[in-house]
Amino acid sequence: MARVTLSAKGAARPDAVWQRYAGIDQWASWSPQIKAVHCVSRRLRPGMSGTVESVVGIRAAFVVEAVDHDRHTWTWRVCLGRIPIRLHHEVRPQGRGSTTSLTMYGPRLVLLAYAPLARLALHRLVRP
């Protein structure tokens, strides 16, 4: 099991960035690989589950393991077929803007293949 951490800094305020995470319907607006999120809850919460549909039609099942709205952190487990990936997200103040980080755990080749898309999404997430 490998670990890869990515981060991005931007001018968006931490609360605004967090709302982009917490509002499930906003995910596709900043994450170019996401076409839709299929789940009952429209607000990020522990225990919620569903599927994420990519723009190329791949569906991945997910379960949110933890959410701390006060600390702006959350962790979820995504399964691409039989390949499990665990992702931990954080949002922090950075000057007048924010920084966000993503730590991914899973098979090294899968994480390295996903990293460019994840990096792009993080940069879009912290844009004003």
Q: Where are the domains of the chain?
A: 2-125
What integer pLDDT is reported at residue 21 of this predicted model? 97
pLDDT 10s digits, 14-64: 999 999 999 999 999 999 999 999 999 999 999 999 999 999 999 999 999
**Which pLDDT band holds residue 6 (cuts at 50, 70, 90)?**
very high
Residue 126: helix, strand or coil by DSSP?
coil
For 28, the enclosing helix (H) or strand (E) is: helix 27-30
Q: Which residues, at least 6 apart from 33, have a Cβ–Cβ distance to it below 8 Å?
A: 54, 55, 117, 121
65-101 pLDDT, tens digit per residue, is: 999 999 999 999 999 999 999 999 999 999 999 999 9
Q: Which CATH class is domain 2-125?
A: alpha beta
- The pLDDT score that the predictor gives to residue 7 is 98
